[in-house]
Amino acid sequence: MSSKTTDRLATLYFWASGIVIILILAWFMIRILGEGIPHLSWHFIFGKPEEIKAGGGVGPQLFNSFYVLILSLVISIPIGVCAGIYLSIYAQKNWFTDLVRISVEALSSVPSIVFGLFGFLLFANLLGLKFSILGGAATVALLNLPVMVRVTEEAIRTVPESYWEASLALGSTQWQAIRKVLLPAALPNLITGITLIAGRALGESAILIYTAGLSVSRFFPDFNPLKMGETLSVHLWYVGAEALVPDAKAIAQGSAALLLIVVLIFNMLVAIPSRILQKRLSGGK
């Protein structure tokens, strides 16, 4: 075979592999949405679940998913942003900075089930939170934290050095320059990062089984963060693997479609607001 023929065959092969990757994803989407969407109804999305009978909804689980997500962001954003600011502005080349960098890297590689056990040990056991939404959210915050630090550091690094120097030259303190100049300029990238983190946290389940628990409050909506709170992805695992209800398969398929739709929405949200903000801040059309 001449080298030209081989080259053509190789090109063909690479195109095929690219197309296969897209086909796998398309097939996933069609499969999940196609089988799940028929189960989605007002009653399913907002109704209460059933233990034994068919026809239960996932309302409380959906609510808990967002509740855990928001609490976890409330915990992880301030710490993550501050640590990111430290790394991008104050950090000098010394052992402490190295230590922080290695910690961020190590933290982002911890398997989520290990976070789950740690959360069970620290929040549920030692701090006496039992299985609770707060304990689950605090543990998910640990998962979000390293990503938040990285996102912040990168977002601030992309702000031109001249902004920082100009602000200081005008007599602002470092804190004023961070708050009034750097953070607003880094905001579009920060929001993109937070949206990505949110999508990941919404799908997280291994962490939450032994920190937020497997059952939901009898009241809905229940804002008490000390109650147990099963989230939608945990519920999907539970009905997929162990549940007793006769319509478990339908609930699993419906929940999967619902989760996927939420994740899709988040993925689109990443694109839209950051683009609008960028346009507004840069003054372009």
Nearer to other proteins, 275 or 280 (CB): 275
- Amino acid present at 239: V
Nearer to other proteins, 98 or 165 (CB): 98
Residue 244: count other Cβ atoms within 10 Å of its Cβ: 9
Rank residues 31 and 275 by Cβ distance to other proteins and give the closer one: 31
**In angstroms, what is the minimal distance from the CB of 196 to other proteins?**
8
Helix axes 232-241, 183-203, angle to 10 degrees: 20
Distance from C-alpha of 102 to C-alpha of 176, rounded to nearest angstrom: 29
14 or 223: whose CB is closer to other proteins? 14
Contact present, 119 and 137 (Cβ < 8 Å): no
Spell 246-280 as b/e; 16+ CB within 10 A means b. Answer: ebbebbbbbbbbbbbebeeebeebbeeebeebeee
Q: How far is the CB of 109 from other proteins (least distance, A)?
A: 4
Minimum separation from the CB atom of position 165 to other proteins (A): 18
> Measured from the CB of residue 283, what is the shortest distance to other proteins in angstroms?
27
Cβ 271 to other proteins shortest distance, Å:
9
Q: Which is nearer to other proteins, 78 or 221 (CB)?
A: 78
